[in-house]
Structure 1
Amino acid sequence: MFIRNERSIKEFIQSYPVVSTLVIINLILWLIINFLQLPIGFMIRDWAIGYNLYIAAGEYWRLVTPIFLHGDMMHVLFNSFSLILFGPALEQMLGKFKFIFAYLGVGIIGNIATYFFEPLYYAHLGASGSIYGLFGIYVYMMIFRKDLMDSGSTQMIRAIVVIGLIMTFIRPNINIFAHLGGFIGGLLIAPLVLRNVRGYNPWQRRSYRTDDDSIQFDPNRWNKKRLLPPKIKKNLPWIIIGILALFGLLSRLF
């Protein structure tokens, strides 16, 4: 489920438009606000950042908008990388609208938890609540919908969740309640969004059109060169886990 088979960025965007759009929004807003530091960026940040005091005053959009804002470079890269890795399978399985509902829903639940459990003057931003919400959906699948996950994906999710929860409590400046709230939100929302879904098929969109506009599979598909050597492909989940752990360590150090 988490091995990317797309042969280009263009194919990835065409296959997973929602995930691609979310990543692009994250990166553009980060560039405008943090890198280019444009005046409009500061206006967007002040209008959209999660601030419990303003939420209490009735600015409820701040339960949603912080999902698209990030702090330093490691913050936006880590969340965007996680979305690229764990989002595509769910986007295909759930469909565009249910995936958007799930992604925003768990993020909002994480921000609501932040509002109730953090002080009134607490400010926050980031998509981590939504990312941990996706983890919650996968954990629900791992426990209650085993028909939707292969054993390799199950092992990877188990390891990622353990690492993620550990990093939540040992890294400084982490919105713990957004992580935990998003994760619990994923567990709660999973039965609703997973109703009547089928397992992930990595070749579902790998089709080619002929002159009669009918969809056919490429007859030479299986004769093409493999994108990854067998040894790397076999150990790819553990390589990805190592990269995630390294990102977490770097973000803690810098």
Structure 2
Amino acid sequence: MFNRTETLKQYIGLYPVISILIGINLIVFILGLFPSMQLQIMYYGVANNYMISQGEYWRLFSAIFLHAGFLHLLFNMFGLYVFGPELERIAGKLRFFTIYLLSGILANVATYVIQPLDYSSVGASGAIFGIFGAYLALVYYTRKTMPQFKQLILPLVGISVMMTFVQPNINVTAHLVGLLIGFLLGMYQFHPKRLARWTKLRNK
């Protein structure tokens, strides 16, 4: 399921939403390598709670596409590249994008509500954890028919949550809320009756 064997051309064709998201993150990161651009991108894009409180609500969105260094970018984009495709295939393009974006935005909203005004954050981690949360919803719905799926997903999510509390400088709020939002969206999107209707529509 998570073993990627496609060529780059095949991957882009099969998973266009993920490919576009990764492309945007890479472009923003590359632009940030230029000193003059870096200051502008970070100043206007970081999810700074004080700035958000002053009405700069776009930061709840823009921060999803900013990263604090190459390793931060690599970790998040690797997670999206490896774990996203199966969810995009199951949910479809629009529903996958909805899960990803809403998880990221609402994770930043929760960070704004819970953390102090001087708190700042960047990164797609909330959205990535939204993907994990959606997989948990699939585990719930397939717990009787596909027990092997549970054996694959639960350790993955467990390790990811554990690393949230072990690694320094992690937005714990965004990770946990992103996971919760993804799960709730997945419970709605992947209800067996709804999935059955999607299958019928796709087969027409």
Query: Taking structure 1 as the reference length, what is the TM-score of the superposition?
Result: 0.72
In the alignment, which of 187, 190, 196 is matched to residue 191 of structure 1? 187
Structure 1 stretches lacking a partner, 5+ long: 199-254
Q: Percent identity?
A: 42
CA gap of 1:92–1:179, structure 2 versus 1, over 3 A, is: same
Structure 2 stretches lacking a partner, 5+ long: 197-204
Q: Distance in 2 between matches of 1:141 and 1:83?
A: 17
Q: Which amino acid aligns with 2:61?
A: V
Q: Give the equivalent residue in structure 2 for 1:248.
A: none
1:2 aligns with 2:6: no
Greater helix proportion:
2
In the alignment, which of 159, 169, 173 is matched to residue 173 of structure 1? 169
Aligned CA RMSD, in angstroms, stands at 1.7
Conserved? CA contact 1:50–1:124, under 8 Å: yes
Q: Distance in 1 between matches of 2:90 and 2:151?
A: 20
Equivalent residue runs for 1:101-250 within 5 Å: 101-146=98-143, 151=148, 153-195=149-191, 196-197=194-195
Q: CA deviation at 1:72?
A: 1.4
Deviations 1:131-183 (A, max 9, x none): 111111111111234478561x4322211111111111111100000001101
Q: Distance in 2 between matches of 1:23 and 1:149?
A: 30
* Number of positions where the alignment pairs a residue of Structure 1 with one of Structure 2: 194
Conserved? CA contact 1:29–1:41, under 8 Å: no
Q: Distance in 2 between matches of 1:115 and 1:149?
A: 38
Conserved? CA contact 2:76–2:125, under 8 Å: yes
Q: Give the equivalent residue in structure 1 for 2:65.
A: 68
Q: Which amino acid aligns with 1:173?
A: N
Conserved? CA contact 1:55–1:62, under 8 Å: yes
Query: Taking structure 2 as the reference length, what is the TM-score of the superposition?
Result: 0.89
Q: Distance in 1 between matches of 2:168 and 2:120?
A: 15
